[in-house]
Amino acid sequence: MKRIKCPKCNRLLIKVEEMKGYIECHNCKSLIKVIVDDKTEEVVMEELK
């Protein structure tokens, strides 16, 4: 499980086991697309409007 922060308001989001899909930040209500790089295991976050 990894902890991720919202790229917009920097609030800690839910610990996610499957780090794929979309998460809505409960603080600023922005929708975040979460992508995991398979090679580096790095979590890439993208803010959607």
pTM beyond 0.85 = no
pLDDT at 19: 55
Question: CA 6, CA 29: separation in Å to the nearest integer?
Answer: 10
Residue 25's CB is within 10 A of a number of other CB atoms, namely: 20
SS3 category, 11: coil
Tell me, what's the pLDDT at 1?
57
Which pLDDT score is estimated for 8? 82
Give me the domains of the chain, ranges plus CATH numbers.
Answer: 1-49 (2.20.28)
Q: What is the tens place of the pLDDT at every residue in 3-37?
A: 777 878 888 776 555 556 777 888 888 888 877 77
Per-residue pLDDT, 28:
85
Chain-centroid distance, C-alpha 34 = 5
What is the spatial distance between Cα 49 and Cα 41, in angstroms, rounded to a whole number? 25
Q: How much is the pLDDT for 22?
A: 79
Measure CA 41 to chain center.
14
